[in-house]
Amino acid sequence: MTMTNLAELLSESHSDYLVYDLGRRVQPLESQVFDAICAQQRPYPYPLQDHAWFAVVFWPKLQAEQPEPFLWFLKMPLDERGLLNHAAQQEFMAHVIALLGQQITGALSDEQEQQLQQSAYLFTPSEAKRAALHAQLTTTWQRPPSRYFSAALTEFQTPTPDGWQHLGLQGIHDVAMRLAEHPEVVKAITENFATYPEPLQNALAEALEHTQPPVQLRDKLLPLLNAEQMQLRMNALRALAGFANTAEMQQALGQRIPLATADELVIITARLWPALIGASPEGASSGSSLMESYLLRLAELNNAALFAGIVRDLLRLPETRIFALGLVQRNDLPTPLYQAWQQFIGAKS
């Protein structure tokens, strides 16, 4: 059989595998979805900078105990339709097969490992995204958390002025991923989130944005979207990314967006984009989305580069593209949004 894409390479090498998006939120891609993406049957769902950024975790099938998996961090270009570039897949596969043959789960020598890392399609994720991935994998496989877990658990429950300096980042992500098992820590975070030392609050928010936290955490953090301190507002936004699809989150954003700063708008499109196609806040026309108020606020900031960058991002995301296009093609746009859109399409032409 001639292999034409990455999913077929994994299948033909008799590997089991998991795939996670690493571009926006660290989140799993279902195997059927990944197969369709590799076959160019559907666009990549979470594009970033015209690329797909994802991790492939794979291991040999039919082993009594799951061995330590192999891991590829892949960055692959997308075509104008948002489909995974076929030539890039072919080039990466040729590189792998030239080094390893079709048995890709064999042990690599140091020289082979170095040669593999020379591929233009491999990248190194941030430390936080690697920690988020590890926390999700150990939870999925019901393995114990890292050795940094206990110290982080204690610090979140009973914070001290300097204790955060001694925490391992992996421990913070392990706690974020396992909050459902520790209601006492959820309670402590709801009470202390706003007063944690800023480095600890930042790290916790970055960990939570890749998870689905307990609902009680959402209800306590939503009011912080209107806090006076900008960093606290931004951290609350990131921590709430897992609730973007909920009516409560969309209602809160509907109230916040007309006052949002540029940095808040960037976080919304980068981490909470599903909220923009949710129901509009009370008082808006029935069936509309938050997209109009979001783009209007973006236009009001009078920053052409920011407007262009975010609009391009929204037009590349399959979930938001049709909503954004439908909105800007209306003939009754508010003046600031109409002018910003005309400037955008004029710059493109």
- What is the per-residue pLDDT across 229-284, written as a single tens digit (0 to 9) for each? 999 999 999 999 999 999 999 999 999 999 999 999 999 999 999 999 875 554 44
User: 72: which 2 tokens?
Assistant: 């590829």
Residue 280 lies in a domain: yes
Does 107 lie in the same domain as 84? yes
- Decide: 253 and 272 in contact? Cβ < 8 Å: yes
Q: Which of the listed residues 73, 96, 117 is the one where a domain comes to its end?
A: 117
The pLDDT assigned to 287 comes to 36
Residue 218 lies in a domain: no
User: Quick one: which of 137, 170, 142 has its CA closest to 57?
Assistant: 137
Tell me, yes or no, if the pTM score tops 0.85. yes
Does 101 lie in the same domain as 160? no
Q: How many domains does the chain have?
A: 3
The confidence band for 115, taking pLDDT boundaries of 50, 70 and 90, is confident
How crowded is the C-beta side of 128, counted as CA atoms within 13 Å?
A: 15
Q: What angle in degrees, to the nearest 10, is found between the helix axes of 110-117 and 86-100?
A: 170
Backbone angles phi, psi at 51, to 5 degrees: -135, 155
Residue 221 lies in a domain: no
Residue 1 lies in a domain: no
The confidence band for 286, taking pLDDT boundaries of 50, 70 and 90, is very low
Q: 193 versus 107: which is more confidently predicted?
A: 193
Does 133 lie in the same domain as 113? no
Residue 111 lies in a domain: yes
Q: Which of the listed residues 94, 117, 140 is the one where a domain comes to its end?
A: 117
How far apart CA 103 and CA 90 sit, in angstroms, is 17
User: 91: which 2 tokens?
Assistant: 């080039």
Residue 229 lies in a domain: no
Residue 12 lies in a domain: yes
Could you read off the pLDDT of 147-178 as tens digits, one per residue? Answer: 999 999 999 999 999 999 999 999 999 999 99
Question: What mean pLDDT is predicted for residues 68-72?
Answer: 89
N-terminal to C-terminal alpha carbon distance within the chain: 45
pLDDT above 90 coverage of the chain, percent = 80
Q: What angle in degrees, to the nearest 10, is found between the helix axes of 262-271 and 291-300?
A: 150
Strand order in the sheet with 27-29: 27-29, 15-21, 51-60, 70-77
Residue 35 domain boundaries: 6-117
Does 340 lie in the same domain as 291? yes
Residue 88 lies in a domain: yes
How far apart CA 189 and CA 213 sit, in angstroms, is 11
Does 139 lie in the same domain as 44? no
Does 98 lie in the same domain as 159? no
Q: Which residues pair with 84 in a beta bridge?
A: 78
Does 92 lie in the same domain as 73? yes
Does 185 lie in the same domain as 263? no
Asked whether residue 58 carries a pLDDT value surpassing 60, the answer given is: yes
Does 104 lie in the same domain as 131? no
DSSP 176-237: HHTGGG-HHHHHHHHHHGGGS-HHHHHHHHHHHTTS---HHHHHHHGGGGG-SSHHHHHHHH
How crowded is the C-beta side of 279, counted as CA atoms within 13 Å?
A: 10
User: 77: which 2 tokens?
Assistant: 């270009």
Does 288 lie in the same domain as 271? yes
How far apart CA 104 and CA 92 sit, in angstroms, is 13
Q: Which of the listed residues 69, 97, 117 is the one where a domain comes to its end?
A: 117
Does 265 lie in the same domain as 348? yes
Number of other CB atoms surrounding residue 200 within 10 Å: 20
Does 148 lie in the same domain as 111? no
The pLDDT assigned to 198 comes to 96
